Structure 1
Amino acid sequence: MQDYSLYAGCWVALDEDGSVAGVGATPEEAGRAGRLARPKARLQLARITPQAPYLALPQWPLALLRPFSADRRVWLVGGAVRDLLLGRPPHDWDFAVERDAAGLARRVANALGGAYVLLDAERDTARAILEDPLSRTPVTLDFASLREGTLERDLFARDFTLNAMALTPEGELLDPTGGQRDLAARCVRVTTPASFTQDPARLLRAVRTAAELGFHIEPQTLALLRRHVPAIETVAAERIRPELLRILQAEPATTTLRQLEQLGLLARVLPEIAALRQVSQSAPHHYANVLDHSYAVISATEALQAHLRGREPLPTQTREVAAPSWAWTSLQAALLPHQTALLAYLVEPVTHEATRADLLRWGALFHDAGKASARTVDAQGLTHFYGHNAQSETLVQERFTALRFAARAQHFVGTLVNAHMRLTTLSDAPEVTRRAVYRFFRDTGDVGVAVVLLSLADILAVFGPRLEREYWQRVLRSAGALLAGAFTRSETVIAPPRLLNGHDLQALGIPPGPALGALLEQLREAQAAGEIQTREEAEAFVRAAREATAAAGA
């Protein structure tokens, strides 16, 4: 965290890394000084509080709110205060208001050209949605009237001490629960022993908050958490889902998943996953049970994405996968031609709360979930899981429905787990033909690239240190052919322009019906395979099919 004590009471222009580019008595002076010093930088104006802990209060939105709070007391509360103390850009702007919070939110929205949303008239909570002038993205400011009569009682009613601090518009920090102490100790502590009873969703939130911040849960809070674990089953799915999403986003996710498992929370929120601890598997699997293997696949997806971003994976990630270093080196080389396209693919949102990268981790978590019901043991004592991919898709559908995931997310992860063995099958062939590439993406659609990445992670985790070079090179060649099809040859081998449509086929004597649709698909596949390139060849293909059908019926 930057030390701003030298600039106490001044306005500063901050660079994106938080360093001071300019100083002034007013925001205008600081802005001019900053632009002179760093003309190409994206600068943010902030006022340094006149007293310790010398926080940088951003001009937007805090300074803009000051005129609206002249007739009532307003405090910035919650995660934004915590993030300012940690030197992180706040994402959640929550304000406690002495009275008429909804009226204040409406005034702010109207004056600053934003949108107003009444969240709860009875509890007097409302939202102003404004455009951040720097990023040009929408930012929400939530306003709520004090629920407990006084600010101090309101703060004690919050979940954890590090979220129970408040800032006045002048920059005075109010910390009745000891949040600063716990930030310094890097621990998550409940504000009162009744915290988990008041809201059992805090059971997951405690684990998630510790994971996101790299903190630990304070021992007494951990003991309270263990005592109240069964209460998580009373929490609505709509509140559990976002916590689980954020837990899987916080790297390394497996550290947090193991903590959920050890606390007994995993068995209550994802019982089909927790049950995989008892499902054993034999060679060639590096891990003796399916859950540890699934954890390793999650770590492999994280490490793979780290390599794509040009950084080294966390030691815990590569250690859990246990693959040889040469395997990672050759993987990097194989993915390098598609690095930019892969990164763009992964950050694409599937729903408002999850990107493809997020759902890839859910696919890693669920890809072998069906093994519990598909497990068989042959006469030689070897374990098999025939059809487990389809069983895994069924479990995804059931759990994602229970957690109220959007249909698009359910389809994405369901397709991902069902198809996760396709790359292994393709790698057994001497080459990946154009027809094979077409069929792969016909069946997987826009999930196909994620299927390739999950399959690579799965293979690394299956074999671990026993991975053979020759086999891995075959897998990478197959993966390269599929990725090239997706990113550089899509209009040729995945979605070639139609040479004929349904009306054309009817003009050639094919009657409407299922047979016409099937013939169109055959034509498209032959075109993708390179067997048909012109309209004339397509018409000849249709005539031959019509004659073959007539001969078969004679």
Structure 2
Amino acid sequence: MKEALANLERTTDSPLFVTLGRIFQAAGHELSLVGGPVRDAFLGRKAPDLDFTTSANPDETLAILKPHVDAHWDIGRAFGTIGARIGDDTIEITTYRADQYQQDSRNPEVTFGKSLEDDLFRRDFTVNSMALRLTSERGGAAPVEVGAKQFVDPYKGLQDLLDGVLRTPGKPEDSFSDDPLRMLRAARFASQLGFEIEPATFEAMQAMAGRIEIISAERIQVELTKLMLGKHPRAGLEALVDSGLAAQILPELPALKLETDEHHHHKDVYEHTLTVVEQAIDYEKDYNLEGDFILRFAALMHDTGKPLTRKLEPGGGVSFYHHDMVGSKLTIKRMKALKFDNDTIKAVARLVELHLRFFGYSDQAWTDSAIRRYVRDADDQLLRLHALTRADVTTRNKRKADRLAHAYDDLEQRIGVIMEQEQLNALRPDLSGEDIMRILDLKPSKQVGEAYAFLMELRLEEGPIGAEEAEKRLLAWWANR
């Protein structure tokens, strides 16, 4: 406990806190650092954002800040939040809140609270319900003094932080009813912090998982992204599946728990997927992709086509023909439903589509033209495809794993050689679209596209042949089509 409090004092030892406390105290209002920044300070790290809560309403907060800040904005005024920049620090100050969701609403009803303790009570988990009071106390729970500041912890969040436990300040059923997104945040914090969800809290998640349907797709997407970028995504994903939340927001994941029988056996696709996610994270550093959401989500979705393509074969075998293509389509559908941007959707879906391509190479080395096609199809996702393909090897057969690893080493080496020789990163035909229109006397049309495709196939098969030879081939193709 003493070490944690020392971390808090050290991390928050800044003139910024003194200045903010002084100006709000002079205006007759309370101000406290609250939530994630306090939690992170105990963990000995500086939070990326500084969140404060105050007894002042938004207009009063703005009036207090204006003479002392370099810039300010009120885009969150409707929710009680005023933002500002002081030197290198960006802060957000929010009026005490006591809002909640109505039974059928997709957005919270914003209401302002009256005290710090009430504000802390309406927060999601006890580890986020701690505050560092920067002004004098105006009633409430007795604080623990930290230097010139006061640590306020009415719901024993520090003990839960030390124990690595996630629980709600009040009854979890009430908390999740007020804001169902908190159930998803529990899974997200399990991923980010590696904490366990307290049993009563988890039981409430299981009982109320269906309530997540009132939350907007945009808010769900934000939490899912943070979960995937956490240090322990397996823990978060397992919490989603075991609570029933995944069935609501990402049904492709629990669907991977395929039933087996005594006659047909195959790898546990769900467990394999979680392992691939972990191994993809391990490969991130090898390809300079640390904290890469696209790679991690592609690893999560890469086998989602298997449930729809599973076929029980005679003799006890199981096949999943074309699960790569089916999985790519499922990925696009799910990511669109979750309101991801088009570029992210395209990148993840392409990786899912291509994740099996390499495995033919391990049986027979490819021609140079096949390697060119591999690079062309991967395009700007090539490094991610390298990481995903390697991560997809989860066999316990060491000889097989070594064979696949050596085969991919060889493929990467050959790609490097061909890239150096032919600049494959900018793979194009020897003639441009303008050249084609000039040579064939065409205007922009479908025929130009067909001619370009012919030249691209020629480039892939034979490598660069030069503009003069390409023109001869183009004219011959045009004459014979």
Q: Same fold, TM exceeding 0.5?
A: yes
In structure 1, what is the equivalent of residue 467 of structure 2?
538
In structure 1, what is the equivalent of residue 258 of structure 2?
278
Cα displacement (A) at 1:528: 6.3
Cα displacement (A) at 1:190: 0.7
SS at match of 2:76: strand
In structure 2, what is the equivalent of residue 396 of structure 1?
331
Once superposed, what is the RMSD of the aligned Cα atoms? 3.2
SS at match of 1:127: strand
In structure 2, what is the equivalent of residue 30 of structure 1?
none
In structure 1, what is the equivalent of residue 381 of structure 2?
447
- CA–CA distance in structure 2, aligned partners of residues 532 and 420 of structure 1: 28
Cα displacement (A) at 1:223: 3.2
| Counterpart among 172, 178, 186 of residue 164 in structure 2 | 186
Contact 2:455 2:474 in 1 (8 A): no
Report the CA distance shift for 1:66/1:541 in structure 2 as closer, same or farther (over 3 A): same
Report the CA distance shift for 1:3/1:152 in structure 2 as closer, same or farther (over 3 A): closer
In structure 1, what is the equivalent of residue 145 of structure 2?
none
SS at match of 1:126: strand
Q: Percent identity?
A: 28
| Counterpart among 220, 228, 246 of residue 266 in structure 1 | 246
- CA–CA distance in structure 2, aligned partners of residues 519 and 282 of structure 1: 55
Report the CA distance shift for 1:181/1:261 in structure 2 as closer, same or farther (over 3 A): same
| Counterpart among 284, 300, 307 of residue 372 in structure 1 | 307
| Counterpart among 101, 108, 128 of residue 163 in structure 1 | 128
Q: Does 1:125 align with 2:81?
A: yes
- CA–CA distance in structure 2, aligned partners of residues 432 and 68 of structure 1: 72
Q: Does 1:93 align with 2:73?
A: no
Contact 2:132 2:150 in 1 (8 A): yes
- Matched to 1:99, the amino acid is A
Provide structure 2 residue ranges, at least 5 long, that are not aligned to the other structure: 98-111, 135-147
In structure 2, what is the equivalent of residue 289 of structure 1?
268
- Matched to 1:547, the amino acid is A
TM-score normalised by the chain length of structure 2:
0.83
Cα displacement (A) at 1:94: 1.5
Report the CA distance shift for 1:125/1:463 in structure 2 as closer, same or farther (over 3 A): same
Cα displacement (A) at 1:448: 2.2
SS at match of 1:141: strand
- CA–CA distance in structure 2, aligned partners of residues 470 and 503 of structure 1: 46
SS at match of 2:82: strand
Report the CA distance shift for 1:542/1:272 in structure 2 as closer, same or farther (over 3 A): same
In structure 1, what is the equivalent of residue 139 of structure 2?
none
- CA–CA distance in structure 1, aligned partners of residues 264 and 408 of structure 2: 16
In structure 2, what is the equivalent of residue 461 of structure 1?
394
Cα displacement (A) at 1:104: 2.4
Cα displacement (A) at 1:393: 1.1
SS at match of 2:95: strand
In structure 2, what is the equivalent of residue 62 of structure 1?
17
- CA–CA distance in structure 2, aligned partners of residues 79 and 525 of structure 1: 55
Contact 2:189 2:236 in 1 (8 A): no
Cα displacement (A) at 1:364: 1.0
Q: Alignment length, in residue pairs?
A: 449
SS at match of 1:172: strand
In structure 2, what is the equivalent of residue 141 of structure 1?
92
Cα displacement (A) at 1:269: 2.2
SS at match of 1:76: strand
Contact 2:229 2:293 in 1 (8 A): yes
Deviations 1:325-344 (CA, angstroms, capped at 9, x unpaired)? xxxxxxxxxxxxxx4xx21x
Contact 2:373 2:460 in 1 (8 A): no
Deviations 1:151-210 (CA, angstroms, capped at 9, x unpaired)? 112211212111112212241111111122222322222111121221111112123223
Cα displacement (A) at 1:539: 2.6
Report the CA distance shift for 1:399/1:545 in structure 2 as closer, same or farther (over 3 A): same
Provide structure 1 residue ranges, at least 5 long, that are not aligned to the other structure: 9-17, 19-52, 134-138, 309-338, 348-354
Q: Does 1:220 align with 2:200?
A: yes
